[in-house]
Structure 1
């Protein structure tokens, strides 16, 4: 290796000395002085009895004599005289710029001399041999070209040096003999010598892999009515990220806003396009313009009840650990409510993962929302619950495909100390066509120490899966999926009747705690349970009357969300003993009307709470 490096240094020194031995090439064509094959000075008029051609020849002879003495571009100057200006080299006269020359050029003698001097400096600085670049970055398996420049004539010859890495490049001369093609054979760096005659210049070539590439362009499947454009864009971004094949340590970014032709209604489709960038240390960044189809597929909403899964134990997480893991199957959908505070002294990383340990590709439909982590434990639960209820009412969701023996990270959120992450998502494994239901998948919640991982960390979102699928590790294949916080009752129906002018109705939300699958644990507050409250309102009077729905935080500080008549209404924060108006319902004389209210006890709030009906 030392011998090879010494040889390379010797070759480079010879190349440099070769440059010094080659004198600039000086020629004359008509009245034009040509230096290093580039026109330097064009003389248009005679000076006395010296015609332009002779003046150019004299200048060439003087220049050849000067460069033979070692003078060069830095020795070229201009001297102003009374009736003319002189271009000098090393203090000696090279040629004169006369008044006649200046008139022919439309300028003054001094300015013309300065222009000639500048052109001469440029031409004298042209090297006999150079490359269009001295450093070349080549993707592995691809080729790039370099142009051989300089005034030295002849066909180029290339030779890899094998240093500092051997076998990295495959160089070749193509075309007119002055173009070098470099093909990347292996990751590394290698110096290639490019020669014309006895003169050589080095080209340093670096060969790297691309950081990643979007390989698949499957349609993005969304569901629901009245979809917000922000949700469709998030679903497109997540689908593209999952379709990106990344090298280890690389990351993918959405480099432009998602452009949508429209927001598709149920049964319709639209087109989307976006710029995607994959990058990473030691890789070549790649940008791709991705175009795909967005389909709003008519997938029926999950039937209640679903399995209610609650990840809240411990609520204050003080070390990296698995917080929740449970199997989900095609036979029953699952609703996961999670609510955790980062009790560590360093930043945490909350991960929600869906593991597919089967040998079949699985497709899952997800409806839900996650709030960006924050220190306000009531507000973070309200944001997640309000968005989830909106999504649930409109069956708003999207599908994710998980390859066999792989996992998808549904959510990755950085949490600073004392911040709380909260969210609700409903997961439904779709049937596998033409096959018996495979084994269950595993839904997992975990806390890690945040270590600046190259992850697309997410804030508030209603779309999931912003990371490409990854093969399961041996440990993940053995993931034990068992948890006491799984509750078969996820849905309750309450009824009440209110007659105008009679006693108010008080409807308790979050009472009669549901029990887990083995009846050993109860869920105080019924967090995550959907309540459908049917209130029959009767106005027996002969006047128009307004009936008020109000919220009372009976158990302490709380927020509440309520879906009424296609509209989602919210109380972000309520403190006892206050009573907070939700809405008013107008009843005509002698009218009887049934109002359906859907609500859910919110994580971070204090339930039971009370829904009041009064006038």
Structure 2
């Protein structure tokens, strides 16, 4: 005890030398609380609990101890002492909370046990609480600056030792935010984007908070929908369609953008009419807006769209070499039947160009389309550029695997934007079908512009799936007016070939690219039949008495060529072949006396030299 007295005396002398520095009055109260079978004494400082006393000490019960602490604290405050003069002091195993030379509370061992603490820990906690509450100003708000989303409310805690809060006022503009005191809280309502100041006054003192009202950059949809097609629809296509739905159908403010933090992922193929719900983590942000981050859900459904043969082939290859900027091809699309776009162009300009493929909805109403894409990266080797386009397109075409896309009226969206370096080739194939409405009409445009002036947002640049990265924009007057179709339109781009081979007889040769299909205008014909689907049925007869093996081979004819073949449900890729070179594609066993039908599908690819041939032997 002597040690504590000495410490308090030293502290009091130090404080006396310093003088009464900026001490404040405080609102002090004593309350009695029932805790189980006990009465606790509660010391309240500036409307908040500073200490809760649970046990007696000597002749003083908990409430008496609390009352004595308040009396001593008030006396110290009247002398000019304040928050910074409160300390927790130790003497052996005894701890006290003191202000100046006056003890407020003893943290006894029994008291500490009831608080599940130690005497030192309890004294330190009580002292910190007294310091914090004594330091409160007469009136204070929990925020000096607060940002509130438009249309929402936020509540600020009003604290301090002032006895009455007289009024609240929005100083700058009540049009920006309204303010109201409700039960010790200042409730702010955001009404219009802007800034204002809310002020609380009490006993001649004021507290202010700057209020900033902003719009959120967007709103997270509870559930969006995406549709795909295919027998079945592959997971990568379904995942991509879900990503498009996330970007397109969130409610985003002008100038804000969507960042997909974690993309939606469909883990398995979807059968016809099967649906799955996937989730994505997104962030919407923009200058002057409040960012929004959260999870959204997308329901992906495989819409059953019956396969239909192509009505027309839109052939963009004349001129093959790009020597000046401009429109290279325009083709029309309506609900009468699907079209296949085939393009293959070489950059002959002295600078990089943007080879763009875009859809333009020339009508006033939205149209719903099926897109079966087959776009590939450019290549200096024209044969390989065409082959890569075929690798992208051919497997999707076989399964009718595509995306359902809705294009608003009088708007346009890029399907692919290739960056072609000098002498690079851009090649692609895509099946596009207008599903609804019956009177809808679109244009497919292929154009070349200097890379620095592609006409598309940066997000679309150099994307082979550009429609997944940017939103449709209003079509320009030129895009809507520039609708005269190009001459190179070929109806019915499908050839069905029937052939037979008898084992032991001469080989059967099937020519690919011969018999060019005719155009809808004039005497145009498509030499090589590029982009035309060949469906070949070969009947193989085995008149012998033993099982025999039959081979199907590919032979280049007019020049270097690549090829992709679906032979009996198996995809076969021929990277390249030169004239008179043969590449074995498949072998089949035919039982004695049996007839076996071999089904083959293929499409002559851009950059390859057709005619070429299949050999059955």
Tell me the TM-score normalised to structure 2 length: 0.77
Q: Report the alpha carbon displacement of residue 334 of structure 1 after superposing the two structures with TM.
A: 1.9
Q: Report the alpha carbon displacement of residue 502 of structure 1 after superposing the two structures with TM.
A: 3.8
- State the Cα deviation string for residues 218-257 of structure 1 (Å, max 9, x = none): x655444222233334334434544445433333455655
Q: Kindly indicate whether residue 236 of structure 2 is the aligned counterpart of residue 247 of structure 1.
A: no
- Which of 31, 56, 64 is residue 29 of structure 1 equivalent to? 31
Q: How does 1:355-504 map to 2 (within 5 A)?
A: 355-371=360-376, 381-407=386-412, 409-413=413-417, 415=419, 422-430=427-435, 432-433=437-438, 437=439, 440-446=441-447, 449=452, 453=457, 455=459, 467-488=470-491, 490-504=493-507
Gaps in structure 2 of 5+ consecutive residues: 1-21, 33-40
- Which of 186, 189, 195 is residue 195 of structure 2 equivalent to? 189
Q: How does 1:47-86 map to 2 (within 5 A)?
A: 52-53=62-63, 55-67=65-77, 72-86=82-96
- State the Cα deviation string for residues 547-581 of structure 1 (Å, max 9, x = none): 11123344555432112233333234556775322
Counterpart for residue 5 of structure 1: none
Counterpart for residue 244 of structure 2: 238
Q: Report the alpha carbon displacement of residue 543 of structure 1 after superposing the two structures with TM.
A: 1.7
- State the Cα deviation string for residues 261-310 of structure 1 (Å, max 9, x = none): 996644x353535447462313344556345473523x443334523332
Counterpart for residue 8 of structure 1: none
Q: Kindly indicate whether residue 551 of structure 2 is the aligned counterpart of residue 548 of structure 1.
A: yes
Aligned partners of 1:120 and 1:379: how far apart in 2?
79
Q: Report the alpha carbon displacement of residue 587 of structure 1 after superposing the two structures with TM.
A: 1.6
Q: Is contact 1:192–1:205 with CA below 8 Å preserved after alignment?
A: no
Counterpart for residue 331 of structure 2: 326
Q: Report the alpha carbon displacement of residue 201 of structure 1 after superposing the two structures with TM.
A: 1.9
Aligned partners of 1:311 and 1:174: how far apart in 2?
73
Q: How does 1:575-590 map to 2 (within 5 A)?
A: 578-590=581-593
Aligned partners of 2:592 and 2:387: how far apart in 1?
37
- State the Cα deviation string for residues 341-374 of structure 1 (Å, max 9, x = none): 7889999766433212223443333333334667
Counterpart for residue 203 of structure 1: 210
Q: Report the alpha carbon displacement of residue 336 of structure 1 after superposing the two structures with TM.
A: 0.9
Counterpart for residue 11 of structure 1: none
Counterpart for residue 170 of structure 2: 160
Aligned partners of 1:103 and 1:361: how far apart in 2?
74
Q: Report the alpha carbon displacement of residue 394 of structure 1 after superposing the two structures with TM.
A: 3.0
Counterpart for residue 185 of structure 2: 178
Counterpart for residue 149 of structure 1: 158
Q: Kindly indicate whether residue 524 of structure 2 is the aligned counterpart of residue 536 of structure 1.
A: no
SS in 1 for 2:397: helix
Relative to 1, partners in 2 of residues 1:513 and 1:23: Cα closer, same or farther, differing over 3 Å? farther
Gaps in structure 1 of 5+ consecutive residues: 1-19
Q: Report the alpha carbon displacement of residue 335 of structure 1 after superposing the two structures with TM.
A: 0.9
Aligned partners of 2:480 and 2:385: how far apart in 1?
33
Q: Report the alpha carbon displacement of residue 443 of structure 1 after superposing the two structures with TM.
A: 1.1
Q: Report the alpha carbon displacement of residue 521 of structure 1 after superposing the two structures with TM.
A: 6.6
Q: Is contact 2:528–2:604 with CA below 8 Å preserved after alignment?
A: yes
Q: Is contact 1:155–1:178 with CA below 8 Å preserved after alignment?
A: no
Counterpart for residue 231 of structure 2: 225
Aligned partners of 2:384 and 2:361: how far apart in 1?
33
SS in 1 for 2:572: strand
Higher Rg: 2
Relative to 1, partners in 2 of residues 1:309 and 1:69: Cα closer, same or farther, differing over 3 Å? farther
Aligned partners of 2:106 and 2:199: how far apart in 1?
43
Counterpart for residue 312 of structure 2: 306
Q: Report the alpha carbon displacement of residue 179 of structure 1 after superposing the two structures with TM.
A: 4.2
Q: Is contact 1:269–1:295 with CA below 8 Å preserved after alignment?
A: yes
Q: Report the alpha carbon displacement of residue 417 of structure 1 after superposing the two structures with TM.
A: 5.2
Q: Is contact 1:129–1:148 with CA below 8 Å preserved after alignment?
A: no
- State the Cα deviation string for residues 6-45 of structure 1 (Å, max 9, x = none): xxxxxxxxxxxxxx89634333335433222222233455
Aligned partners of 2:377 and 2:207: how far apart in 1?
59
Aligned partners of 2:146 and 2:379: how far apart in 1?
47
- State the Cα deviation string for residues 402-444 of structure 1 (Å, max 9, x = none): 333233x2525574857765432112234645xxx46x42112
Counterpart for residue 599 of structure 1: 602
SS in 2 for 1:369: coil
